[in-house]
Amino acid sequence: MIEINAKLLRDQSAVFMCGEVVECLIDFIHPSLPEHKISQSNSDILENLAWATVQLHCYCNASFNEKSSTDAATNRNVGGSTSLNASNQLKGEVLHSTEPKILFCDLRLSPGEAKQFLYRETVPLSTPPTYRGIRVKYYYKITVATQRLGSTVQALNIPIRVLPLPLPQSDLDEAITLNDESNEDLAPNNPFLEKKRPPSRIEYALHYLRGVTARRRPNFFMINNKWGKVGRFCLFKSAYKLGEDIVATIDFSCGTIKCVQLSVTLQCEETELNSGSSSSLTTGTKHELAGSDAADTVNSSEAANEPERHKNISRITNYSKHHEVCLGMLQTQVILPIPLHVTPTFRTDLVEVSWRLHFQFVTSTNTELGSEMLLDRTTENEEELEWVAPTDIAIETMIWSLPITIYPTAPLQIPQPCGEYKLNIK
């Protein structure tokens, strides 16, 4: 029997960014024979493995449009495609695979002997991040495959999580990112100091990530309906990292109608993209006032005024939620934490994942709620006046969605320990 042990060098977090180097230690161990067992021949002592390879696979499991996805797979450039793909009984198709790296050929191990190999691979930049959605799933596996003489190919899969690489989307963002380095270039050169090496792609992406998520530019939104003003909503910034808190305020002092109840939900929208849809689709065009329910999974469609065009189906998943009865309040605060296990904003040929804040305002024009004693109760008449809530209130629910952008965070800030994976070949 031969035991295969695989473990990532970064054991505290099995999370990597696109373009980052993944390192994995792979041990091939032949356990010692029991003391009471006597070897009859040399074949009882030595264990022989014919070969062993390692690859990084990106899988795509889509439960819709299977025919088009298989046709698209034939046109994709799947590097390093080998017969090993047929031996992996994993769900979905191989979207991308790195070139296989051969660890050894014809390895012989005596009892108690072990061989250790280091596997290093760069996560491709053109692949999607890890995502486990409703209809589309992307996931990554490090596949260690080997074959013993006279037996079938066996594979050991080590899962990793991949985050998208944040890069500047415009020349202005790139100029802001490089602003700090431009000042250093103007300083006089010191011949006694070592020359500063240029930043790597990962360091450049993390620097841009800190800059784009640290900008605080408050945005104010006046919330109105047909009866008047409800209040003013203030969002301090529109770009966030995984693990951050979305902090906002709502001012009801400028409203002309009463807001009885408030609900704010952080939602992830998964939009299926048809092959015939236009590539100029933007994230902000889909978020308008709607009258649909805020369930965990909601089906909606776009381009209703064009029946001949294929519709893009969207599904909504709820995460953090803030619920508050705000009758009589002048101001309130909304805090929504962003979970670390979710996937940031991204887009592929099959799906587009975007984020939004979904609001539900329960308003009322009841005259009994507009009494002065509800807002102004001085100490002189506090003991004399007693306000009785009405039995029935005529309410109206208003729904609004505000798009936001969620970026990844540094991989080491996501605690996702990677254990040791084992495979026994008998």
pLDDT at residue number 382: 56
CA distances from 47 to 31, 50, 95, 111, 150 (A): 10, 10, 35, 8, 12
CA distances from 51 to 31, 104, 187 (A): 19, 6, 55
* In contact, 353 and 408? CB cutoff 8 Å: no
pLDDT digits (tens, 9 = 90+) for 77-130: 444 445 455 456 677 789 899 999 999 999 998 888 999 999 999 999 889 999
Number of residues that make up the chain = 426
* In contact, 219 and 232? CB cutoff 8 Å: no
Could you identify the residue written with the tokens 């640290």?
A: 214
pLDDT digits (tens, 9 = 90+) for 31-65: 886 655 555 555 557 888 999 999 999 999 988 65
Question: How would residue 148 be classed by pLDDT, with cut points 50, 70 and 90?
Answer: confident
Residue 374, SS3 per DSSP:
helix
Of 365 and 371, which is predicted with more confidence?
A: 365
Rounded distance between C-alpha atoms, residue 136 and residue 350, angstroms: 8
- Kindly state the tokens that stand for 268: 């992830």
| Angle at 50 (CA atoms; ends 45, 56), nearest 5 degrees | 125
pTM, to two decimals: 0.76
Q: E strands along 164-214, which residues?
A: none
pLDDT digits (tens, 9 = 90+) for 308-331: 344 578 899 999 999 999 888 899
* In contact, 55 and 98? CB cutoff 8 Å: yes
CATH numbers and ranges of domains, the chain: 2-34+45-64+87-163 (2.60.40.640), 171-210 (no CATH), 217-274+312-375+392-409 (2.60.40.640)
Q: Does pLDDT of 72 surpass 80?
A: no
Rounded distance between C-alpha atoms, residue 176 and residue 178, angstroms: 6
Rounded distance between C-alpha atoms, residue 31 and residue 112, angstroms: 5
Q: Does pLDDT of 376 surpass 80?
A: no
Rounded distance between C-alpha atoms, residue 401 and residue 287, angstroms: 6
